[in-house]
Structure 1
Amino acid sequence: MVKRNWKMVLPVAAMLVLPLSACASNPNNGGNEPSPTVSASNTDTAANAGAASTEPAKEPVKVVWWHSMSGELGTAADKLVSDFNASHPDIKVEGVFQGTYDESLNKLKASMDSKSGPSLIQVYEIGSKFMIDSGAVTPVQQFIDEESYDVSSLEPNIRSYYTFDGKQYSMPFNTSNPILYYNKDLFTKAGLDPNKPPATYQEVADAAKKLTGDGVTGASFAIYGWFMEQLLANQGKDLVNNGNGRDSSASESLVNQEAAVKTLTWWKGMVDDKSVLNLGRKTDDTKKAFLAGQIAMTLDSTASLRGIVDGAAGKFEVGTAFLPKPDASSEGGVVVGGASLWILNNKPAEEQKAAWEFIKYLAEPAVQAEWHINTGYFPITSKAYDEQIVKDNLAKYPQFQTAVDQLHASKPGTASQGAVMGVFPEARQTVEGAIEEAFTGKKDVKAALDDAAKQITEKIGIYNKTVAK
């Protein structure tokens, strides 16, 4: 891959990384071969063997992996590293937490001139175009092709996000999508069927009204740009032009299209009639309200499922449903969220190859099964569902079947494959600002989205000029 000058990309890096509101193979004997048998009749051989035994053992290849997994996720990530190191004595992976995705990407940018950066980095999905345009990575497709690595079991709807122009640039690692969570007990109390959750916009609005009362509000959805992106993709609508930025670089935001206007109008209507509570941008706030029984429905990531179900244990039963659509006939599907792993090309070939070995290990079915049950993220390989621990986990958390079914039901296309633009993080914040303006009445829905689309389009233009060859 042609390397671009990082200094040409960095002027727009600040736009990209604005802060957001939000098994193992059996260990061998350490790589040491058995000591040769020394014959008394062959003193030269004995001498040579003795000399060889004093030579220092070859140092393992060091791979520095920057990630953004903290708390329980960090603990799970640390275990993956230690298990890999125990079973691969010729490689030593050092996992280093670098803060949020934005903070980690900022640190990567600052490290490039000194080459003090990582061998491997976890980057959130909306940072993908920036990583490609930087020219700082070796696409994993190179390693896939070199050894004819079998990708057939990788989930196609996950792998496709990180495939551009027919080339897979990074390996998915932690993957999620949004689902509707609802309080089955409150549904029953309101006279609603707890086993028939709302599937369309109108059904959500009707249920929210019936659920509101006696200190309970029907729903609350965080003002999160990701939700608007998903609600559009779920209708088969692209977020930007030029095939969602995949046929060629996006040059225009489509966030003011009719489907977006109708979606925000529906959302604002429920806020206005007080059947949906506006709690701001943080999903943590809506999650807390849901677990406290203050709201009956919410949108959240599938990665939050285990925490939500455990948090509601003993209080109420959690139901899960697909992300709602305007009507039952709507085409499209959800887009994967989360992050993937990128190999940096300013490291020696041996180090890059070692990073690839770690990536392959993380993609093994048993490893993905362990990662999945410990975090709630999707396994990236379908073979993980054959692992007993995954079967047991689905039995304990049947709500997760909703997430799996929704992923598999998503119809392939540029909408569900996901938008690509270099200023995605800033675009997401711009949309969040537009939603707030609509909710507060500062602007009507169409004007708020028109202004947002204009701002995003201008930023895309600046970015495209900066990275032009």
Structure 2
Amino acid sequence: MKQALSAAVIALALVAAGAQARAADKPIQITWWHSMAGKNGETLDHLVSEFNHSQSKYHVDAVYKGNYSQSLTSAMAAFRAHKQPDLLQVFEVGTATMMAATNAIVPVYKLMAQHDVGFKPDAFIPSVKGYYTDSNGHMLSMPFNSSTPVLYYNRDEFKQAGLKRPPKTWSELGDDAKKLRDAGVKCGFTTAWQSWIQIENFAAWQNQPLATEDDGFKGMGARLLINKKPFVEHIGRMASWTRNNLFQYGGREDSPMPLFYSGNCAMLFQSSGSFGSIQNNAKFDVGVAPMPYDKRVVDQPQNSIIGGASLWVLQGQPKSHYQGVAEFLNFLAQPKQQAEWSRNTGYVPVTETAYQLLKKQGFYNRKPGAEVAIKELTLHPPTANSKGLRLGNYNQIRNIINAQLEAVWSGQKSARQALDSAVKRGNAELEKFQNANS
């Protein structure tokens, strides 16, 4: 009896030891919620697979959670339920919201200080890194998919109109649009993402303040300045061009793309991240050029600011996860991975070494249009007006700006009336955010 009992005890001990060994062998699961669909999602999944196969201690599970707004809303609900992911991809205008959630995030600079993985924050391109740093230059989240606006143009229609190069200034753009219309083109140009391109990047490219407090970097007391003369004149000029179809509004976000694909509009302001999609869909020779600058405001352009998103580390996970998160972020920041991401998606490489690697590989010789964005971002060292935005509730403010611009394009409001209204209503959102987080 005693022998049988001893044998049973030994057997149970061996089973328990085996279970413990299997548990020890099982990789630590790290969850990443993102908003990359289609081809971009496939490239993201491939990078994750590369990391998972490069080591056996951690396994990253990349989960698509819808668009940026949906993903952020889901993460907030998950955090309240203590079911948050380890990593969250957040669009650039959500930066102030994430910064205010101090009890929910682990700043990247602190994570990397605690885990020695060889991470080099200074390797990131200043105009990209600056968007995601605090007032002391500390990196809060890691840049991942970054883009900037560029001007796409139909080379075939330009040739037909006798135009040999894309416009460098807004005055030239207006002249070119008229020549294109005279040559039979239905519309000179259209613009996607009108607030991001025609207000936010217009401000940076012309080195103009978008808001007080260094565009919000100095504190939450920032207030909008987009009803100042340069903005009113710029939007007023675009409005005047709608009357003879030199400019045609095609809707918010990516809605104007068909106007360009169809050949109806000869020029399109759009994200550099759409480079691959435009190349694949357009049935004509596509050119890519820098945004024009307003010679009435500046003698030369400054630098553009980014769109896209960064990766935020969330609190509340077991300590064992954070070494793996640090290693994964460092993996994504390496030149090889950054070059792969940029080549396959159209987003800019976020580090200087990745940019140089792509040049060495001849990528920009094969696709010269892909280099325009990185040249815009690095044209000059960022100033307080071209570092980026740090404004709370900015997604709501963008919606306000979009609605007011639509009132201008439809002739319901003047540029002055619309931008005054956008400032008044936008400042109310900033004040609401400030009161909620003070």
TM-score in same-fold range (> 0.5): yes
The code of the aligned residue for 2:383 comes to G
1:185 aligns with 2:152: no
Deviations 1:119-152 (A, max 9, x none): 1000001101100101110101113334363223
Aligned to 1:104: 71
> Among residues 95, 105, 109, which one is paired with 1:141 in the alignment?
109
Matches within 5 A, 1:350-365: 350-365=320-335
Partner of 1:56: 21
Equivalent residues, number: 416
Rounded Cα–Cα distance in structure 1 between residues aligned with 2:19 and 2:401: 65
1:281 and 2:252 correspond: yes
Give the secondary-structure state (helix, strand or coil) at the position aligned to 1:116: coil
Moved more, 201-210 or 350-359: 350-359
CA contact (8 A) 1:385 1:391 kept: no
Give the counterpart of 1:341 among 295, 302, 311.
311
Q: Once structures 1 and 2 are overlaid, which stretch shifts more, 73-82 or 349-358?
A: 349-358
Residue number in structure 2 paired with 1:260:
231
Q: Name the residue aligned to 1:17.
A: none
Change (3 A) 1:320 1:52: same
Amino acid at match of 1:332: Q
Q: Partner of 2:187: helix, strand, or coil?
A: coil
Distance (Å, rounded) in 2 between the aligned partners of 1:360 and 1:378? 18
Is contact 2:186–2:245 with CA below 8 Å preserved after alignment?
no
Whole-angstrom distance in 2 between the partners of 1:170 and 1:291: 36
| CA-based RMSD | 2.2
Q: Please tell me whether the aligned partners of residues 121 and 342 of structure 1 are also in contact (alpha carbons under 8 angstroms).
A: yes
State the one-letter code of the partner of 1:129. A
Greater mean alpha carbon deviation, residues 411-420 or residues 131-140: 411-420
Change (3 A) 1:187 1:222: same
| In structure 1, distance between residues paired with 2:299 and 2:358 | 36
Task: Report the equivalent of 1:202.
Answer: 171
Q: How does 1:400-411 map to 2 (within 5 A)?
A: 400-411=370-381
Q: What is the SS of the residue equivalent to 1:296?
A: strand
Secondary structure of the residue aligned to 2:189 is coil
TM-score, L = length of structure 1: 0.84
Partner AA of 2:292 in structure 1: P
Which residue of 2 is the match for residue 322 of structure 1? 290
Letter in 2 for 1:142: K
Distance 1:161 1:54, change over 3 A: closer
- Alignment equivalent of 1:395, drawn from 332, 340, 365: 365
Quote the offset at 1:273 in angstroms: 2.5
Q: Which runs of 4+ in 1 moved over 6 A?
A: 51-54
* Structure 1, gaps ≥5 residues long: 1-50
TM-score (norm 2): 0.90
The aligned runs of 1:294-443 (5 Å cut-off) are 294-312=264-282, 315-327=283-295, 329-387=299-357, 391-443=361-413
- The 3-state SS of whatever aligns with 1:175 is strand
- Write the letter of the residue equivalent to 1:208: A
Quote the Cα distance in structure 2 between the aligned partners of 1:299 and 1:74: 24
Q: Residue 144 of structure 1 aligns to which amino acid in structure 2? A: M
Letter matched to residue 317 of structure 1: D
Cα displacement string for residues 382-404 of structure 1 (whole angstroms, at most 9, x for unaligned residues)? 21234369734323211112222
One-letter amino acid of the structure 2 residue matched with residue 316 of structure 1? F
Secondary structure of 2:265's counterpart equals: coil
Q: Secondary structure at the match of 1:112?
A: helix
Whether the aligned pair in 1 keeps the contact of 2:30 and 2:86 (CA below 8 Å) is yes
Partner of 2:5: none
Shift of 1:330: 4.2
Distance 2:193 2:131 in 1: 24
Partners of 1:338 and 1:178 in 2: how far apart?
11
- Tell me by how many angstroms 1:182 deviates: 0.8
The amino acid that maps onto 2:160 is K
Within 2, Cα distance between the matches of 1:53 and 1:137? Answer: 37
For structure 2, which runs of at least 5 residues remain unmatched after alignment? 1-15
Aligned residue for 2:310, secondary structure, equals: strand
Partner of 1:7: none
Structure 1 residue 353: deviation in Å?
2.3
Is the Cα–Cα contact under 8 Å of residues 291 and 311 in structure 1 kept in the other structure?
yes
Matched, 1:211 2:176: no
Q: Distance in 2 between matches of 1:392 and 1:308?
A: 21
Secondary structure of 1:293's counterpart equals coil
- Distance in 2, matches of 1:54 and 1:223, equals 54
> Once the 2 structures are TM-superposed, how far is the Cα of residue 175 of structure 1 from its aligned partner?
0.4
User: 1:465 is aligned with what amino acid?
Assistant: N
In structure 2, what is the equivalent of residue 233 of structure 1? 204
Shift of 1:298: 0.7
Q: CA separation in 2, counterparts of 1:410 and 1:417?
A: 11
2:54 to 87, 97, 112: 87
Q: Does the CA contact (< 8 Å) of 2:190 and 2:247 recur in 1?
A: yes
Alpha-carbon contact 2:100-2:437 (below 8 Å) kept: yes
